[in-house]
Structure formats: C-alpha cells, structure tokens
Amino acid sequence: MAKAWITDRWVKDADVALPDGSTIRVSPTPAQLKSLKSIPEHFRKARFGQGLRWAVTWREPQIDGTAPQRTKDFKLRRDAEALVAELEDDIRTGRYIDPSQRDRPFSELAEAWLLSKGKIKDATYRRYRRDLDNYVLPRWATTPVGAIKRQDIDSWIQQLRAGTAPYRFAQSKHVNKKKVEPSKLSASSVKGIADVAFHAPLRYAVQDGWIGRDPMARVELPRDETLTQKLPALDYANIELLARKALELTERKDDAVLVQMLAYPGPRIGEATALQVRDIDFTAEEAAVNRTWTVDRGGKRKLGAPKTWEMRGVPLPSFLVEELRVLCKNKEPEDFVFTAPRGGAIDGGNWYTRGGRKYARRHPQRPSPCTISATSLRRSPSVLALM
C-alpha cells in the first residue's frame, strides 16, 4: 500500500563522538528547534533556511505496475501533516487525487469545462460565458479548485443576493453611457450563476479527477418567495382586438397575422419569425417548426435549431391558413413568411422595438401597457407594446 511521510528540509540528526571514540546519533532538543537561528551547525542541512521547510512525499497507487513518487513542500508542519492524513485516507478508500490537480485555479477549470460543452447551442454558450465573466470568475478565478469550501460558497451566494458580490461587467464606450453597477439578484438569477456557471465546472472537476469531492453538493440555494398574481390569459375577442391594434399601429398585415400565429398555433416568437414559405403546408393546414432565431457566440443573430432541438409540426386554423396564403403570395419557398417593412428578416427583438417605439410616439403620456404577461401570447413580448 502507498504511504506518505514528512521530511524536514532544514534540520537533521547529527553523529556525536563519545569519549571512548564511538559515535551516537542525536536529535536537536525541543529548545534548539524553537530557536532555529542559533541551532548548532551540525544539525543544519545544506539548504538550511532556503525555500519551504517541510516536504510531504508519497507514492501514488500503482498504475501499470508502477507507483510514481511525488513531493509537495509546505511552510508549516501542521499543513504537511494535514496533507498526509488526507492522502492516506484517500489512498485507503480509493479516492486518491493528485494534489497538483487540486492546486489548479478555478479559471483553468472553467475554461476546460466550457470547452467540453460541445452539444450546447451558441446562445447557451453565450449565457454561460456571460455569467462566468460577470460574476463567477471575479470571485473564484485565482482560487485553487481544491481550496473551495462550502462556507465560502455560502457567503458568496449571500453576496449575490445582496448585490455586493465581486463583479466585472464589460464596458463599451459605444454602448454604455455610464458604468453598469450590480444589483440584488433574484433567486432564479442566483441559481443560474451559482448552480450552473459555478457548480457545473465543479462537477466536471470531480468527474475528471481534479478533486475528490464536490464542495457545492450540499449548498442550499435561496428560494424566490415573491408573491405573484395569476397571469391573465387573452380570450378570442381580445386576441382579435390585439391583432387589429397591431394592424392600426404599423399598417402592415404581417403584424396582425403574426399576433394570430403566436396566439393560436403557439410557436415561440423566434420560431414564428423564422418560418419560411416552404414550411407552410396549406393542404394539411400545418406549419413545420424547423428553426428559430438565435445568436452565435459573438452575439450576432443567426438561424438555429428550435429550443431543445424540438422540430415539430403545429396545426393551423383554417382562417389563419387563408391569411398566411395572402402573405406568401408571390414569394419564393425560401422567403420568410413575416418580414420587415423593407422586406428583410425580423425576429422578436426588432419586432418589439418597432412596435414599441410607434406606441410611445403616439401615446407619450400613457404609462407602459406591459401589464399583460408575455406568456399570454406564447412568449411574445412584442405584442405588449401594441395594446
């Protein structure tokens, strides 16, 4: 079985000559060890006073018939003794981890974990990257993975909730007119940062042999105790009223039909605006949801697979089929069903911006009409500005 032991790199036992000519090996007295500066020369090793004093040496469990020997130095003996105890326990129970792995900084772990996420969509990657850069790395970047303790995690989570956690927000003189300051975070925001961007790398570290135990395994995340009212749902009459309001506001049939598309078949806003003429089966009265608007890792808009790669067909009511038939007339199969006034592609973001700005110009004295939940129209925040 592998073993670990401590070596004093500064002090040694010495051979002392007796009157009869024989020699005896003696160790420094406790008093001499307390006053190293005056310890006799014959007790001093060649590197006395240089570097760290205590060295822990151990043999790793055998791999392919070999048992590599490793060493780690410490300033204090108690730290060396703690490592020996931990090594012997881990080796005995089969949880041995190379201590050099535990000394690697969390920033290195975070990049390794992010690099391993080969199946996620670019938009998800971008969210992970943002949470890491904004909140996780400012606190944990230089911390050795093996030194992360539950107590420190608990304290950090409370700081996130209070808005006092370390942060680093990207600044751009072309976008931000003033410095962005952190605010108190909701329970759901804390969960996204702490349980995903922070905890997922730690789970990766356990699986890949960086550490033997997950320090976040028993951490309790806060719950959102905010009282919420039941969200209103629009009935048929209100949906049609909303569609007419959209038409009046933008004077474009596309916007009225898009409201109906979101309300009745119910695709997500990115899926609806990504529909192409070839996706509409007028005979079967069905729309194929094969793509959605998303962003690449640089934040640029692009077409991608629907959320969770959920490609599907959605049934269309007969009256909506006729409305779509009018919109698709004289268009090519690859053309988008819903387009901007100049014919380009739209998505939920620019549709909301266009409708919201028109509403603000027409009703400058009115408060925001965004009191109806976006979920009332299948995740369509754009229609809220049209009421």
CB under 8 A, 24+ apart: contacts of 125-129:
125/297, 126/295, 126/296, 126/297, 126/299, 127/192, 128/196, 128/197, 129/297
Based on the domain organization, do 123 and 147 belong to the same domain? yes
A 10 A CB-CB count for 38 gives 8
Based on the domain organization, do 157 and 80 belong to the same domain? no
The mean per-residue pLDDT over the stretch 168-194 comes to 76
Based on the domain organization, do 57 and 187 belong to the same domain? no
Based on the domain organization, do 263 and 372 belong to the same domain? yes
Backbone angles phi, psi at 281, to 5 degrees: -100, 95
Burial zone of 348 (CB within 10 Å; 0-12 exposed, 13-18 middle, 19+ buried): buried
Domain boundary among 96, 115, 141: 96
Structural domains of the chain, count: 3
- At residue 169, the pLDDT reads 86
Which segment of 28-32, 62-66, 200-204 scores lowest on mean pLDDT?
Answer: 62-66
- At residue 362, the pLDDT reads 67
Tell me the residue range of the domain where 370 lies: 237-386
The mean per-residue pLDDT over the stretch 137-165 comes to 95
Based on the domain organization, do 176 and 44 belong to the same domain? no
- Whether 101 maps to a domain, the answer reads no
pLDDT band (50, 70, 90) for residue 107: very high
Residue whose token pair is 């934040």: 299
Q: Does the pLDDT at position 378 exceed 80?
A: no
Based on the domain organization, do 201 and 241 belong to the same domain? no
List pLDDT tens digits, range 325-358: 999 999 999 999 999 888 888 888 888 777 666 6
Domain boundary among 96, 118, 143: 96
- Whether 351 maps to a domain, the answer reads yes
List pLDDT tens digits, range 218-245: 999 998 776 666 666 778 888 898 888 8
Based on the domain organization, do 251 and 194 belong to the same domain? no
- Whether 214 maps to a domain, the answer reads no
Contact between 374 and 266 under an 8 Å Cβ cutoff? The reply is no
Based on the domain organization, do 372 and 252 belong to the same domain? yes
Tell me whether strands 69-74 and 14-17 are parallel, antiparallel or unpaired: unpaired
Which segment of 39-53, 64-78, 272-286, 325-339 scores lowest on mean pLDDT?
Answer: 64-78
Name the percent of the chain lying above pLDDT 70.
85
- Whether 357 maps to a domain, the answer reads yes
Closest Cα to residue 341, out of 349, 351, 333?
351
Based on the domain organization, do 338 and 366 belong to the same domain? yes
List pLDDT tens digits, range 293-308: 988 888 889 998 888 8
Domain boundary among 96, 120, 145: 96
Q: How many CA atoms lie within 13 A of 328 on its CB side?
A: 20
